[in-house]
Structure 1
């Protein structure tokens, strides 16, 4: 019999400022390593104030990780040291493998109404892949398949497979799944998960019950006001649920629908040496990376 995962921890995203002054909400990050292994951070950059995002993320390096950007509203202009440039727009995904080193910029533009909605996930690379050749994937919205279940649940499949439909992003070292799920009101959604994989859900609209747990405040909840939790025991917008191990996850709704990002991956279980945009296995590897960046020898694979 399939074992349903239980809630391990609940986290409320916290405000922070990154890049050249971008205001965002961080669902998890450096202080939670290695709890989310193989993932490093998840940022929520939804905003209706261009002053909070327009300065963006000017040219900066990455090594040893993958960055996954998912845009729901607005545009993000990008460019990198491999010669890639352009825009990712509503519904698009940018899956960038930094590998041995890449220098890039990401400049949010918002939509005509000034709205900029999106998320960026960082995934670690195992030691065997940290110095691999960088790879860039620009996935357009119309390339992302959608599955609709009998109860009306809608699933956009960025990475992984649902109901025989395969997401466009494949061949990733950590064997990830990344799906965008909307469960209608008064419904239940159960989804199989691989045993041993780290699995979490980040709610981006509405509210629901996860794992049939109607008292999530009985768990340690980071970044939340105790009295707010007492008034509303649902898991709601800008809240993350990290699950224990098991064969499946479950969510149910009452009067409101719920939309969430469901993400999973195989833990790497290796040392993490992390400073800023570079993540390696040792402090010595970090030192070398920053020395190379300073000396202009950071890029190991140049554009052909």
Structure 2
């Protein structure tokens, strides 16, 4: 595995006081086509009970994956869906979405999940919004000795096996999966069909060929054109694997809006304030 960059997540808050760890890059675009990864993880409901009250988006996609607990999603398109452990939700916001994400009342044992922002190409930013979740869909799993890859979206080549996740329409041909490794186990990922790849460690640690250990809370940008031989540390490892094709376009971001020019950002603000995004029903 050839590591190009290591980025440590930072503690912050969003929504109504929700504590998260975040990796984001809206300026240098070193994660292109990805813009941001938020991890929510706590057994104390005070860290997340406020949730994410109604708010807008334009020009990007949100991808939410829940490992423990759950959220209820509502939007102006009429979707009201509970997203629970092991499932994902994808929203291509296009020209505009208003939605809320609130913790499920029956999720009493804590919350662990991720929301990832994916950029959209300029030509697609004003298309109608789309929504899909995997509540009724099957997630394929590829396994090897001491390792398991749980597919969330896109196509994967893992330990000489190939399979596709339940979601396939993400921007920039993006693909995501959840990789678990037992103590000192290793796995081989072929990501050569993608122009960008990275892993975000949420449990345990990875041991690099140099012997250096990288602990949970770090995102590693890796060379997609080199087979990724990933090895866990003594406590094993859990990580999200992200892949996709860079869009290569300038980005201007303000809060929940991601466009290509400042003028487009200001238009998004005016459209939202004038009610053109609609309301949650």
What TM-score does the superposition give when structure 1 sets the normalisation length?
0.85
Preserved CA contact (<8 Å) 1:50 1:110? no
The match for 1:188 among 178, 186, 196 is 186
Match of 1:108 in 2: 103
Runs of at least 5 residues in structure 2 that lack an aligned partner in the other structure: none
Of 155, 164, 170, the residue aligned with 2:149 is 155
Sort the Cα spacing of 1:102 and 1:113 in 2 relative to 1 into closer, same or farther, 3 A. closer
| Partner SS state of residue 174, structure 1 | helix
Q: Secondary structure at the match of 1:51?
A: helix
Aligned: 1:295 with 2:270: no
Which of 39, 43, 55 is 1:44 aligned to?
A: 39
Deviations 1:231-290 (A, max 9, x none): xxx112111111235232121134321111000110001110100001000000001110
1:9–1:111 CA distance, 2 compared to 1 (3 A): farther
1:61 alignment counterpart: 56
Report the alpha carbon displacement of residue 98 of structure 1 after superposing the two structures with TM: 0.3
Matched, 1:90 2:85: yes
- Name which of 181, 202, 205 aligns with 2:203: 205
The equivalences for 1:235-254 within 5 A come to 235-254=214-233
Structure 1 residues 62 and 27, CA gap change in structure 2 (3 angstroms): same
Q: In the alignment, what sits opposite 2:24? A: 28
2:4 alignment partner in structure 1? 8
Residue 36 (structure 1) shift:
0.5
Q: Does 1:77 align with 2:72?
A: yes
Tell me which protein shows more strand as a share of its residues: 2
Corresponding residue number in structure 2 for 1:134:
129
Distance 1:259 1:195, change over 3 A: same
Q: How far apart are residue 142 of structure 1 and its match?
A: 5.8
Q: In 2, are the aligned partners of 1:92 and 1:141 still within 8 Å (CA)? A: no
> What is the Cα deviation at residue 195 of structure 1?
5.7
Unaligned runs of 5+ in 1: 216-233
| Residue matched to 1:214 | 211
